[in-house]
């Protein structure tokens, strides 16, 4: 999501590990010959609980040259270069899934000879190395395109779609080729939170309504570009790979999700949702916020009831779309409310487990940052923040 911060990591990590036992269904480790032949639900049922390598490969707005070193890019927002030891620390804590948010637009250049946007070779090799840290440890890996300036634009138009579809196709063509032989442990996520940042008719962080369905169709069409590109690469692995697709801004809103169209013949698809819920507990800093759980917001929303409604709605979408949901980002900012965050995590993850939805914890390695305090793992030393462990 956006830049976030750290806090009572002891509490949150403890919860996350607890969630690992809550959500486990099938063994995460598979035989040496790899994972193949599963449908979408068969894959998601093995994703016990996940962790996000946030604010690292997804850095954007750096104004660096596309040929700058990968290490320079990933340190742009203050994070260290990821290592195999970091990933092992995550796995040892009970996570069997890792999401690697990755931004590409600053690492591509137009190539006249191939007539496509070409990803810098050093960057692609670096991304592959980080993926391998988790893949080689039998973890599920979600690789995406994240803070892309050609996807998140002021207003969706036919012209912005033409640019977005071309760049999205070119990037996924090269990613699909690079990882053509990786088994079903590797998952591709087509976009992060596709949205408009300056359209007065459509809220940036809303459900995409307000323009007679144009925004919903825009995102649906980009999802189709993504699916068609990966499936056409040619390898057997890419034909059965799980593809994650969001609705507008990856919202959990049922209206937006009902208007999500899974492309025909897309194969294994999961719906990508981000749900920092209930918001007035997890992130809000206004007068309506209440950071105690159980509890209610300043305007009277009961938090337990809100989570019940959230997961009932998501389960209904899974059934309507015949596709599992993955919550690719969830967290509760640290407001020095460890006990409440533990209570929240138990309730959130037990309700997610009940409807078979795996969840991936957002970690931006940040503390004392108000509503964006989502720090769990101190990456300089690969140790969990004391306030996050209980969670």
pLDDT at 18 over 90: no
Number of folded domains in the chain?
1
Place of tokens 């080689």: 136
**Cα distance between residue 326 and residue 223, in whole Å:** 16
Q: Kindly state whether residue 112 falls inside one of the protein's structural domains.
A: yes
Q: What is the pLDDT of residue 30?
A: 39
When pLDDT is cut at 50, 70 and 90, the band that residue 12 belongs to is very low
Domain ranges, residue 44: 9-384
**Cα distance between residue 109 and residue 106, in whole Å:** 8
Q: Kindly state whether residue 376 falls inside one of the protein's structural domains.
A: yes
* 329 is known as an active-site residue: yes
Q: Kindly state whether residue 389 falls inside one of the protein's structural domains.
A: no
Q: What is the pLDDT of residue 4?
A: 33
Residue 215 phi/psi, 5-degree rounding, is -65, -40
Q: Kindly state whether residue 373 falls inside one of the protein's structural domains.
A: yes
Per annotation, catalytic residue among 148, 169, 189, 193: 193
Question: Residue 277: how many CB atoms within 10 A of its CB?
Answer: 21
Per annotation, catalytic residue among 189, 240, 329, 372: 329
pLDDT at 280 over 60: yes
Q: What is the pLDDT of residue 388?
A: 85
Q: Kindly state whether residue 127 falls inside one of the protein's structural domains.
A: yes
**Cα distance between residue 346 and residue 15, in whole Å:** 7
CATH number reported for the structural domain that contains residue 338 in this entry = 3.20.20.80
Residue 14 phi/psi, 5-degree rounding, is -55, -45
**Cα distance between residue 89 and residue 79, in whole Å:** 16
* 193 is known as an active-site residue: yes
Question: Residue 197: how many CB atoms within 10 A of its CB?
Answer: 10
Q: Kindly state whether residue 1 falls inside one of the protein's structural domains.
A: no
Per residue in 68-118, pLDDT (tens digit) is: 999 999 999 999 999 999 999 999 999 999 999 999 999 999 999 999 999
When pLDDT is cut at 50, 70 and 90, the band that residue 17 belongs to is very low
pLDDT at 387 over 90: no
Q: What is the pLDDT of residue 33?
A: 55
134-146: average pLDDT: 99
Q: ω into residue 294 within 30 of 0, thus cis?
A: yes
Q: Kindly state whether residue 21 falls inside one of the protein's structural domains.
A: yes
Q: Kindly state whether residue 3 falls inside one of the protein's structural domains.
A: no
């Amino acid at each position: 999501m956006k830049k976030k911060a750290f806090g009572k990591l002891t509490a949150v990590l403890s919860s996350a590990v607890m969630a690992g036992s809550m959500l486990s269904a099938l063994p995460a480790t598979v035989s040496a010959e790899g994972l193949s032949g599963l449908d979408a639900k068969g894959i998601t049922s093995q994703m016990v609980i996940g962790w996000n390598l946030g604010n690292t490969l997804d850095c954007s707005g750096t104004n660096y040259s596309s040929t700058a070193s990968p290490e320079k890019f990933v340190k742009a927002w203050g994070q260290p270069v990821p290592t195999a030891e970091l990933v092992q620390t995550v796995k040892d804590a009970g996570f069997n899934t890792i999401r690697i948010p990755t931004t590409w637009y600053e690492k591509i250049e137009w190539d006249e000879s191939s007539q496509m946007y070409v990803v810098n070779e050093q960057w692609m090799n670096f991304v592959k190395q980080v993926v391998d840290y988790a893949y080689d440890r039998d973890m599920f890996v979600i690789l995406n395109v994240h803070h892309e300036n050609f996807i998140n634009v002021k207003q969706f138009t036919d012209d912005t779609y033409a640019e977005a579809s071309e760049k999205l196709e070119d990037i996924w063509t090269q990613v699909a080729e690079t990882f053509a032989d990786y088994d079903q442990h590797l998952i591709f996520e087509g976009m992060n939170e596709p949205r408009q940042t300056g359209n007065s008719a459509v809220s940036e962080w809303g459900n995409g309504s307000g323009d007679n369905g144009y925004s919903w169709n825009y995102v649906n069409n980009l999802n189709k570009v993504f699916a068609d590109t990966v499936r056409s690469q040619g390898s057997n692995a890419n034909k059965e790979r799980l593809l994650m697709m969001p609705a507008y801004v990856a919202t959990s809103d049922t209206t937006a999700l009902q208007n999500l169209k899974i492309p025909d013949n897309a194969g294994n698809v999961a719906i990508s949702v981000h749900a920092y819920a209930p918001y007035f507990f997890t992130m809000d800093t206004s007068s309506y916020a209440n950071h105690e759980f159980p509890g209610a917001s300043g305007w009277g929303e009961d938090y337990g009831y809100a989570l019940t409604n959230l997961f009932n709605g998501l389960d209904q979408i899974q059934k309507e779309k015949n596709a599992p949901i993955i919550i690719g980002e969830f967290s509760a900012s640290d407001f020095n409310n460890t006990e409440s965050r533990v209570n929240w995590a138990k309730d959130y993850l037990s309700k997610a487990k009940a409807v078979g939805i795996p969840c991936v914890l957002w970690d931006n390695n940040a503390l004392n940052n108000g509503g964006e305090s989502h720090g769990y793992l101190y990456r300089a030393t690969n140790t969990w923040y004391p306030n996050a462990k209980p969670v």
